[in-house]
Structure 1
Amino acid sequence: MLPTATCVTQTVADPADKITLDETARHRRRMAMRSDGGIEFLLDLPEARLLQHGEGLVLDDGRVIEVHAAPEPLYEVRGRDARHLVTLAWQLGNRHLPAEIAEDRIFIRRDHVIHEMLIGLGATVGEIMAPFSPERGAYHGHHHGGGGDHEHGA
């Protein structure tokens, strides 16, 4: 029988292993998983949530598996000023695109059509590889989105 992770801890002192997942794979409730070092376990949380980089999955045998957010191909979107950035955010939101909002930039998954739209709107768009933690929507319950959880390389 596989050990089961039924809760998440914000602090990880001495993890038994780590598991590296992209944003899509970090948004889970229940599934069989394997840590980077080969520990097999069942994730069985009360509700689906976005597992954040640095959190720990507490197994019923007491071990903790630390979550690592895998870098993903993203666009880093910047505006001319704060108002322009808000306008760009509105355009992205109007298209229901997952976006991670920072004080002076927005991170989105790469998409050449959206890239062209943003350039046409006067945005500065750069390609980066970084962990992705988009804002959760208003109808997704608790807010687990990013912006302040970690830094992206610029």
Structure 2
Amino acid sequence: MIRATRILRRDMLSGGEIIDRVVLDHGDRHRRRVAMRGIGGLGFLLDLPEPAVLEDGDALVLEDGRLVWVEAAAERLLEIRAPNDRALKRLIWHIGNRHIPAEIGADAVWIADDHVLAAMVRGLGGTATQVERPFQPEGGAYAGGHDHAHPHPHAAG
């Protein structure tokens, strides 16, 4: 089985033969070694030297130099909003206190769909709307390397 042994980050892509693509959710983009199958049917072994986060738009480099495009799958999430900036910061604090992956935007936060957390957000004056979109949560203080690294071991996700 052909192996993918490194990641070519989306900002470094400048050509190359993209022969297939994989569509992966947040959890499946945190990998080191796993058998994968592209949308077009290509089977390959992801075999990286250390665990890494595959970002939307990255490419996996196969041993023969060909590329497999990485696409973030749409996931069922809660989009959390608040009436003002201070209220949103307060909601972010409560979400962070539960150690769950969260993607923080300028005026919204996205987390995995969870009815208990949705009720908490609404109880604190925010809105929690179900949406489907790719999930790019923060990596956390100990993630290292780049913006969206793997969560530390006790994080849910």
RMSD between superposed Cα atoms in Å: 1.4
| Count of residues paired in the alignment | 145
Q: What are the superposed Cα offsets for residues 82-103 of structure 1, whole Å, 9 maximum, x if unpaired? A: 1111111110000001000111
Asked if the contact 1:12/1:54 (under 8 Å) is kept, the reply is: no
Q: What are the superposed Cα offsets for residues 1-34 of structure 1, whole Å, 9 maximum, x if unpaired? A: x111111112263411100111101110111111
Tell me: CA distance 1:35–1:61, structure 2 relative to 1, closer, same or farther (3 Å): same
Q: What are the superposed Cα offsets for residues 52-107 of structure 1, whole Å, 9 maximum, x if unpaired? A: 11100000111100001110000100111111111111100000010001111000
How far did 1:145 drift? Answer: 2.5
Q: What are the superposed Cα offsets for residues 115-136 of structure 1, whole Å, 9 maximum, x if unpaired? A: 0000000011111100001101
The equivalent of 2:5 in structure 1 is: 6
Give me the whole-angstrom Cα distance separating, in 2, the residues matched to 1:107 and 1:143. 19
The equivalent of 2:153 in structure 1 is: none
Give me the whole-angstrom Cα distance separating, in 2, the residues matched to 1:53 and 1:131. 8
Give me the whole-angstrom Cα distance separating, in 2, the residues matched to 1:12 and 1:111. 40
Moved over 4 A (4+): none
SS in 2 for 1:88: helix
* Residue pairs, 1:16-27, within 5 angstroms: 16-27=19-30
Identity across matched positions, percent: 47
How far did 1:114 drift? Answer: 0.4
The equivalent of 1:63 in structure 2 is: 66
Asked if the contact 1:12/1:66 (under 8 Å) is kept, the reply is: no
The equivalent of 1:83 in structure 2 is: 86
> Which structure 2 residue ranges, 5 or more long, are not aligned?
150-157
Tell me: CA distance 1:103–1:73, structure 2 relative to 1, closer, same or farther (3 Å): same
SS in 2 for 1:16: strand
SS in 2 for 1:127: strand
SS in 1 for 2:46: strand
The equivalent of 1:101 in structure 2 is: 104
If the length of structure 2 is used for normalisation, what is the TM-score?
0.88
Tell me if 1:116 matches 2:119.
yes
Give me the whole-angstrom Cα distance separating, in 1, the residues matched to 2:14 and 2:46. 17
Tell me if 1:133 matches 2:136.
yes
- Matching residue within 20, 40, 54 for 1:37: 40
> Which structure 1 residue ranges, 5 or more long, are not aligned?
147-154
